[in-house]
């Protein structure tokens, strides 16, 4: 193992040791700006949203953004390195991919500009960090989103998401009264959503909607449910909400989040460069579509540039009590990203000339 690999492992270990649940990312943002400066980034800063940003400028050429997130789900996971694996909250989701991006940017033979962003609050419905980047940063020529795809896989699609809350109030009444109860109305709203989405609702398929009852509280006088619908490409949330309000007029329906699905071209320059890097690592690349959402959905809403999602780590360990990353795969991921950046430096320049 080289000295550069040792430093890469130290970077990830130190990142994982810093608690950074959503809304509590200030400490790790400060750490990352210092770490990127020590790796030779041209400039580093923390923006108004709290995102940690590092820029590497190496002459004229294309601009590629690598965006991962610093925040994690809450909950402690015993850390440390054991049997070639690094344990701890965020080791997979998504400090491993973000650390790999930082290391790759510092190593890559890239003519142009690379911007690395450690975003805040990806694990929240609003994705405040990525929204701030989308609305205020210069639009790059290409984007790689850092999420655990597995070192030999590239994610080309994510479902969208509609989150809403249904709240209903009724005058207090005896349990035996024939007057409809608030709890019954909330249940009726849930049943109505299920009926409107149809019999094929599932979280197992990319092309079908998925449905989750996130929470339910209440009594006969006051009740509330929160619902999440994972939406496939071309799903129209407006008609669903309009029909639901018509069928459940007694309560108030509040939309918390509404973001479209994202599906990128499987032969775009970012996907091709990542697949090329995977082949250089003697593996066969696999293209995946995910039934969750990521910051790729947020940026793709208005940034019409080539993009894809990539990062080392097993996504089935996201948020688990056994969250860990295989260090050999983490180092492979750095190599893939390093190769992809070098390839993008050439291909994006060629496309710009053509």
Q: How many CB atoms lie within 10 A of CB 131?
A: 17
Q: What is the DSSP string of 237-265?
A: HHHHHHHHHHH-TTSEEEEEEEE--EE--
**So what's the pLDDT on residue 173?**
74
**Residue 138 DSSP label:** P
Which CATH number applies to 160-259? 3.30.70.360
pLDDT digits (tens, 9 = 90+) for 242-299: 999 999 999 999 999 999 999 999 999 999 999 999 999 999 999 999 999 999 999 9
- Which residue would you say has higher pLDDT here, 149 or 349? 149
CATH number, domain 3-158+261-353, options 3.30.70.20, 3.30.1200.10, 3.40.50.2300, 3.40.630.10? 3.40.630.10
Distance between CA atoms of residues 28 and 102, nearest Å: 14
The encoded tokens of residue 5 equal: 């690999």
Please state, for a pLDDT cut of 70, what percent of the chain lies above it. Answer: 98
Residue 229: is its pLDDT beyond 90? yes
Buried b (16+ CB within 10 A) or exposed e, 3-26: eebeebbebbbebbebebebebbe
Rounded to an integer, the average pLDDT of 195-203 is 93
pLDDT digits (tens, 9 = 90+) for 8-54: 999 999 999 999 999 999 999 999 999 999 999 999 999 999 999 99
Q: What is the pLDDT of the chain when averaged over all its residues?
A: 95
Q: Which residues are catalytic?
A: 71, 122
pLDDT band at 351 (very low <50, low <70, confident <90, very high): low
pLDDT digits (tens, 9 = 90+) for 119-174: 999 999 889 999 999 999 999 999 999 999 999 999 999 999 999 999 999 987 76
Each domain of the chain, given as residue ranges in start order, spans: 3-158+261-353, 160-259
Residue 354: is its pLDDT beyond 60? no
The continuous run of DSSP H or E covering 222 comes out as: strand 222-231
pLDDT band at 78 (very low <50, low <70, confident <90, very high): confident
- Which residue would you say has higher pLDDT here, 177 or 230? 230
The pTM assigned to this predicted structure is 0.93
């Amino acid at each position: 193992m080289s000295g550069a690999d040792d430093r890469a492992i130290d970077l990830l270990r130190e990142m994982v040791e810093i608690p950074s649940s959503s809304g509590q990312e200030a400490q790790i943002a400060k750490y990352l700006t210092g770490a990127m400066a020590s790796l030779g980034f041209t400039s580093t800063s923390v923006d108004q949203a709290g995102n940690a940003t590092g820029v590497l400028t190496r002459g004229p050429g294309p601009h590629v953004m690598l965006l991962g997130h610093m925040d994690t789900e809450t909950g402690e996971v015993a850390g440390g390195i054991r049997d070639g694996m690094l344990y701890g909250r965020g080791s997979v989701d998504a400090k491993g991919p973000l650390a790999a991006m930082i290391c790759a940017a510092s190593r890559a033979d890239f003519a142009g500009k690379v911007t690395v962003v450690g975003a805040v609050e990806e694990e929240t419905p609003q994705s405040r960090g990525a929204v701030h980047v989308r609305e205020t940063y210069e639009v790059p020529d290409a984007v790689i989103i850092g999420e655990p795809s597995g070192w030999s896989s590239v994610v080309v699609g994510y479902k969208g998401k509609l989150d809403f809350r249904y709240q209903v109030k009724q005058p207090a009444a005896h349990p035996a009264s024939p007057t409809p109860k608030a709890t019954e109305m909330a249940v009726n709203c849930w049943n109505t959503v299920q009926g409107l989405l149809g019999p094929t609702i599932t979280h197992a398929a990319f092309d079908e909607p998925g449905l989750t009852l996130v929470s339910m509280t209440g009594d006969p006088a006051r009740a509330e449910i929160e619902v999440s619908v994972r939406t496939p490409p071309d799903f129209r949330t407006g008609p669903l909400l309009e029909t639901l309000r018509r069928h459940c007029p007694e309560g108030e329906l509040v939309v918390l989040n509404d973001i479209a699905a994202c599906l990128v071209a499987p032969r775009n320059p970012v996907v091709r460069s990542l697949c090329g890097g995977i082949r250089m690592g003697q593996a066969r690349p696999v293209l995946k579509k995910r039934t969750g959402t990521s910051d790729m959905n947020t940026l793709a809403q208005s940034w019409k540039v080539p993009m894809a999602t990539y990062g080392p780590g097993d996504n089935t360990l996201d948020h688990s009590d056994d969250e860990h990353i295989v260090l050999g795969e983490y180092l492979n991921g750095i190599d893939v990203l390093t190769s992809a950046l070098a390839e993008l430096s050439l291909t994006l320049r060629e496309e710009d000339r053509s």
